[in-house]
Amino acid sequence: GAGVSQSPRYKVTKRGQDVALRCDPISGHVSLYWYRQALGQGPEFLTYFNYEAQQDKSGLPNDRFSAERPEGSISTLTIQRTEQRDSAMYRCASSLYGTGEGGELFFGEGSRLTVL
Amino acid sequence: GIQVEQSPPDLILQEGANSTLRCNFSDSVNNLQWFHQNPWGQLINLFYIPSGTKQNGRLSATTVATERYSLLYISSSQTTDSGVYFCAVDLNYQLIWGAGTKLIIKP
């Protein structure tokens, strides 16, 4: 697609429910990143894929968080048994490859998650 | 770990003014990117600048990697320049982000 697309844009859920956030990167982009951004702060790294391989998941806060990119394109970030502290803007970004040469990051508009 | 510091934290200017935003980083990095987060929350990549100087319209950026800093220049500010400017340094594919400079341009 023309840009990074995320859905849903807004999600309100009750504590304890599972949520799935979707990211459709720019066509042809190998690398895909998930970030979380709290109000007034910079993005916080969660996880990173090259093609379908999850290269680093060290930023995922705990085992309730998981991500996949089964066909090397669309990715899903899943949060199980949501808690109020999970409320944040979840951002997806893609780059042609990595963050080195040619690695400009392009962000989607984000999915704002509110856990009641 | 690597530290990224941005200054000033806040900046209020009149439309038409020029400004310089600074990003210092504590260790050698592979790369550096500048982003603008507009008041609607969109994060837009401004520059990908490991070293040297780049210009894009009224914006330009300079990175001096050996001295571990980068500068973002905004000339003839417009109200649409308002928002938060982040620099992020690349450390083995993870971007380490500064806290941002919040810029307000008054008409």
Q: Are B16 and B6 in contact (CB under 8 A)?
A: no
Interface contact flag, B43 A91, Cβ < 8 Å = yes
Span B75-107, pLDDT tens digits:
999 999 999 999 999 877 778 899 999 999 999
Over range A93-111, report the average pLDDT.
84
Cα angle value B102/B63/A110 (rounded, 5°): 45
Q: Which residues of A touch B44 (CB under 8 A)?
A: 107
| 3-state secondary structure at position A84 | helix
Residue in chain A closest to B93 (alpha carbons) equals: A99
A87-91, B70-74, B95-99: the lowest-pLDDT one: B95-99
Span A35-88, pLDDT tens digits:
999 888 889 999 999 999 999 999 999 999 999 999 999 999 999 999 999 999
Interface contact flag, B41 A89, Cβ < 8 Å = yes
Residues with Cβ within 8 Å of residue B79, at least 6 apart in sequence: B15, B105, B106, B107
B97 near A CB under 8 A = yes
Of B30, B33, B41, the CB nearest to A105: B33
pLDDT of residue A42: 87
Q: Quick check: A1 pLDDT over 70?
A: no
Residue B92 vs residues A19, A98, B64, B89, B95: alpha-carbon distances, Å: 30, 9, 19, 10, 8
